[in-house]
């Protein structure tokens, strides 16, 4: 193996899978939610957006669902 390689003549090309890796979305989150994940991300040493992505991916793997039931105000 060479000690050094000359890559100056190498042509670059786009990763054909890059567009399938992540998709940019806009989402509104509560300040408390963002703060919670930012604090956890600081402790873990990773970006908070990556931490949110990991959490949501875990929800997918665990087949978690949410039960939203609105309680009526009957008095």
What's residue 12's pLDDT? 85
Distance (Å, rounded) from C-alpha 62 to C-alpha 54? 12
Distance (Å, rounded) from C-alpha 19 to C-alpha 50? 17
Look up residue 55 and give its two tokens.
Answer: 């959490």
Look up residue 12 and give its two tokens.
Answer: 């670059």
Distance (Å, rounded) from C-alpha 22 to C-alpha 53? 10
Distance (Å, rounded) from C-alpha 11 to C-alpha 29? 42
pTM of the shown model: 0.64
pLDDT in tens, the chain (75 residues): 778 888 888 888 887 777 678 888 999 999 999 999 999 999 999 999 999 999 999 999 999 998 888 877 765
Distance (Å, rounded) from C-alpha 18 to C-alpha 51? 20
């Amino acid at each position: 193996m060479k000690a050094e390689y000359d890559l100056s003549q190498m042509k670059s090309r786009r990763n054909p899978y890059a567009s399938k890796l992540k998709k940019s979305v806009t989402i509104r989150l509560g300040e408390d939610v963002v703060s919670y994940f930012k604090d956890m991300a600081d402790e873990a040493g990773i970006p908070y957006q990556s931490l949110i992505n990991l959490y949501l991916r875990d929800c997918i793997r665990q087949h978690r669902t949410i039960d939203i039931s609105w309680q009526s105000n009957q008095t």
